[in-house]
Amino acid sequence: MTRLASSFWRKSPGAREGQRRSPPSPDTGAALLELDDLSVAIAGKPVLRKVRLAIAPGEIVALTGESGSGKSMTALAAMGLLPPGARTEGAIRLAGRDLITLGDRALCAVRGAEIGMIFQEPMTALNPVQRIGDQVAETIRIHAPRTPRAEVLSQAARTLARVGLPAERVPPTRYPHELSGGQRQRVGIAMAIALRPRMLIADEPTTALDVTTQARILGLLRRLVQEDGMALMMITHDLAVVADMADRIAVMNEGRIVEEAPTTRLFREMRHPYTRALFEASRHRASLPPRPAGEPLLQVHDAYRSYALPRTRLLGSAPRHEAVRGVSFDIGLGERVGLVGESGCGKSTLTRAILGLEPLQRGSITLDGRDVATDPAARRRMQVVFQDPYGSFNPRHRVRRLITEPFHLLDDPPKGAARDDAVAEALEAVGLDPSVADRTIHAFSGGQRQRLAIARALIIRPDLLIFDEAVSALDVRVRARILDLVADLSTRFGLAYLFISHDLSVVRGITDRVMVMQAGEIVERGPTDAVFDAPRHAYTQTLMAAAPRLPEIGQDEPVA
């Protein structure tokens, strides 16, 4: 099991820290962590079924799959942190010792010292009322209670420095809320590795982070694994994230590992259809028949919006955060435009302003010459699809009432049979059966809800749709189908849309033209392929370099 020219997948070296380790040799001793026919049932419902997985010291193994596939449960089972009421069968062996048979006291001695774990949400994984230095120190103190306080603290400070938080720049006396998301995740990593455990488990460690931050955190993990010779179990829903990092990948579905192989071989062979389906869906690009842009429809001119920040001085004015700083762009009839940017770049504020929900302090936003903030005639021609499939419907209403809500914008909304026809038509357009109109929203899955959201947007036949992170909460296979639907509807109805997303690969597959936003300004714009293939602005270049990418398959002989 040699690694085939993995450099093929590597990003430009500047974007990543650390060098690729030499691959572990399979003949140096037994596995460090071994899951042996591990089955877990919670409240009688099986969540893991006979999972077998072995991880050798120094090895990075990725566990991937869609939500509910059991990948996080596998991690929690390995930590002995399953929710109460879980029944476990099989064995979890760490260096030969079965953790399932250990009592909680013995397990506590293992957790943090021999296995460390990093969690997904850096926001909530840290105690908000404790200094970061103390939180890292706790790992040390809990396993060696007699260590003098000063020594514990200095060791904690050294660990923080090691993960990129040197005391002179980020003092250990800070509280979590004073740190950025990436810095918080670094604290989480510091807590996990403070005692240099042999095994590290990372559960979606970068999912909540921006791509550039993600790249740095992945680089840090790679470096730590290499320096300490740790084994790393990396759990992620995103194949691309682990494509150039993992030595081996295990694909999970419905509590089972359906395929497991060294990374290169897995991507080359993809023996299981589920793996192939995941892979295809991850890099899915919708079919966008070329079409000329029509007359300008949406015109954003010098839009500016700032917010007051909490006061930092006793006297004087409060500082302001400039969320959108003089943005101008047009979207023509039938145009398919993307807007990408990291969190805090101002894209949400801009979106709300376009929807007429947020007043501007300067500039104008018009739809066909009418002001979106004041003129109902403008709003009538524009609708929106939001991110959260579970939050975008009033749980107390039925589908019919939910999707006809935009009729409120019409002076003379259809009634009776005409209304029923409109409902049926909208539902059929998004691929749902018209009979679902009388159901409550609880009956629908996430993907179906996004279809309903699109039906709601379509029902007044708008000319422009705004997709605000509309597929970000969906699993890859569902996401691919929704993207196809969007492209298809756009073609059928000649719809223009603005597709806003933090996910570059999604925007690439669904737009003709793209704008890149940073710190309240649009720093680069142009045809999607051109911007993605040859970014000119430095920020766009960083962004593209940091974005995880899947290997091209079909090219069995990579050009090294």
Partner 1 sequence: MSRALIAGAALTALFVLAAALSFAWTPGDVAAMNIAERLQPPSAEHWLGTDHFGRDMLSMIMIGARTSIAVALVAVGIGMGLGVPLGLAAAANRGGWLDEVISRGSDLVFAFPSLVIAILITAIFGPGAVNAILAIGIFNIPVFARLTRGAAMALWSREFIMAARVAGKRGPRISVEHVLPNLANLLIVQGTIQFSLGILAEAGLSYVGLGAQPPIPSWGRMLADAQTMVSLAPHVAIIPGLAIVLMVLGLNLLGDGLRDRLDPRLNAVRA
Partner 2 sequence: MPLDPGVARPYRAAMLAYAVKRLISLAISLLVASAVIFAVVEIAPGDPARFMLGINAQPDTVAALRAELGLDVPKWQRYLNWLGGMITGDFGTSYTYRTPVAQMVADRLWVSLPLALYALTLSTAIAFPAALIAAARRGRGPDVAVMGATQLGVAVPNFWFAMLLVLLFAINLGWFSAGGFPGWSDPLAALKALTLPAIALALPQAAILARVMRSSLIDVLGEDFIRTARAKGLSMRQALWRHGVRNALIPVLTILGLQFAFLLAGAIIIEQVFYLPGLGRLIFQAITQRDLVVVESVVMLLVFAVIMVNFAVDLAYAAVDPRLRRRA
If the CB atoms of residues 281 and 546 are measured against partner 2, the closer one turns out to be 546
Mask for 4-43, x = binds partner 2 (CB under 8 A): -------------x--------------------------
Q: What angle do CA 516, 339, 364 make, to 5 degrees?
A: 95
The residue from 29, 376, 494, 527 that contacts partner 1 (CB under 8 A) is: 376
Residue choice 126, 337, 367, 547 for contact with partner 2 (CB under 8 A): 126
- As a whole number of Å, the CA-based R_g of the chain is 26
Given partner 2, partner 1, none, residue 393, with its beta carbon under 5 to 8 Å by kind, binds partner 1
Q: Which does 379 bind (CB under 5 to 8 A by kind): partner 1, partner 2, none?
A: partner 1
Nearer CB in complex with partner 1: 222/379: 379
Which residues share a beta bridge with 382? 464
Binding flag, residue 178, partner 2 (CB under 8 A): yes
Q: Which stretch binds partner 2 (CB under 8 A): 181-189, 357-365, 426-434, 498-506?
A: 181-189
> Which positions from 424 to 453 touch partner 1 by CB under 8 A, shown as an x/- string?
-----------------------------x
Strand 231-236 with 199-203, pairing? parallel
Helix 416-429 vs helix 446-458: crossing angle, to nearest 10: 130
Q: What's the min distance (Å) between Cβ of 44 and partner 2?
A: 18
Per CB under 8 A, contacts with partner 2 among 62-81 are: 79, 81
- d(CA 97, CA 527) in angstroms, rounded, equals 57
CB distance 170 to 179 below 8 Å? yes
Amino acid (one-letter) located at 497: Y
Q: How far is the CB of 10 from partner 2 (least distance, A)?
A: 18
**What residues between 384 and 413 interact with partner 1 by CB under 8 A?**
384, 386-388, 391-396, 405-409
Helix (H, G, I), strand (E, B) or coil at 355: coil
Instruction: List beta partners, residue 485.
Output: none
What is the Cα–Cα distance from 219 to 234, expressed in whole angstroms? 13
Q: Write phi, then psi, for 18 (nearest 5 degrees).
A: 80, 160
Rounded CA separation 202/74 (Å): 11
> For 162-185, what is the HEC assignment?
HCCCCCCCCCCCCCHHHCCHHHHH
For tokens 């957790």, the residue is: 111
State residue 443 phi and psi, 5-degree precision. Answer: -75, -5
Cα–Cα distance for residue pair 260/257, rounded to 1 Å:
7
Report the residue from 64, 74, 183, 392 that binds partner 2 according to the rule CB under 8 A. Answer: 183
Q: Does 371 bind partner 1 (CB under 8 A)?
A: no
How many Cα atoms within 13 Å fall on the side-chain side of residue 329? 23
Part in contact with partner 2 (CB under 8 A); list of ranges 138-146, 320-328, 410-418, 520-528: 138-146
The terminus-to-terminus CA distance of the chain in angstroms comes to 18
Q: Which of residues 328-367 bind partner 1 (CB under 8 A)?
A: 355-357
Question: Minimum distance from CB of 130 to partner 2 (Å)?
Answer: 7
* CA distance linking residue 92 with residue 101, whole number of Å: 9
Q: Is 555 in the site for partner 1 (CB under 8 A)?
A: no
For binding to partner 1 (CB under 8 A), which residues are involved?
Answer: 355-357, 376, 379, 383-384, 386-388, 391-396, 405-409, 453, 456
Residues that bind partner 2 (CB under 8 A): 17, 79, 81, 104-105, 108-113, 116-117, 119, 121, 124-130, 138-139, 142-143, 164-165, 169-170, 174-175, 177-183, 186, 188, 191-192, 213, 216, 310-314
